[in-house]
Amino acid sequence: MKPACSKILALSALVAFVSMALIPVVHAQEPAKVTRKVLLKQDMTIPDREAVMVAVELQPGSEEGRHTHPAELFVIVQEGTLLLECEGRDNVLYKAGDVFSVGPGKVHNGKNTGTVTTKLTAFFVAEKGKPLSAPAE
């Protein structure tokens, strides 16, 4: 085999090897930036309403996206900070220990502008049988 051909063959083998090694990295799924876990969901004594409690985590730099709820929403910030943008209100930065509420149908967005994971507990008094949230139009 000619030296030029063996160099090309060796280079091709090296490129193929490196490409195969990188495929899992390129296709590895990135962890979710915002996670939600339903902790409680049950009927209420209020007609056509259900109580839903959700643990929410936002990684640094992440946001929920503008959305609404067919529910009264009550939130306590457990850890980190949350910048809340809410229709009809000034933006507010909440920190651990703070609580806030959002009315039904109000367009809002929560952002983690900090450097640590934000952990929230959200409690909804929701319309029974409707999706808990919907993207804002």
Mean of all residue pLDDT scores within the chain: 85
CB contact set of 24 (below 8 Å; sequence gap of 6+)? none
Residue 70 and residue 119 in one domain = yes
Segments forming the whole domain that contains residue 91: 34-135
* Least confident range of 2-6, 67-71, 90-94: 2-6
Q: Do residue 20 and residue 60 come from a single domain?
A: no
In a shared domain, residues 61 and 15: no
Whether residues 52 and 93 share a domain: the answer is: yes
Can you tell me the distance from the alpha carbon of 62 to that of 110, in angstroms, rounded to the nearest whole number? Answer: 9
pTM here is: 0.76
| pLDDT (average), residues 50-77 | 97
Regarding whether 105 and 60 lie in a shared domain, the answer is yes
pLDDT number for residue 6: 56
Tens-digit pLDDT profile for residues 80-119: 999 999 999 999 999 999 999 999 999 999 999 999 999 9
Q: What 3-state class would DSSP assign to 76?
A: strand
| Same domain membership, residue 53 and residue 118 | yes
- pLDDT for 48 beyond 70: yes
The answer to whether 54 and 36 have CB atoms below 8 angstroms apart is yes
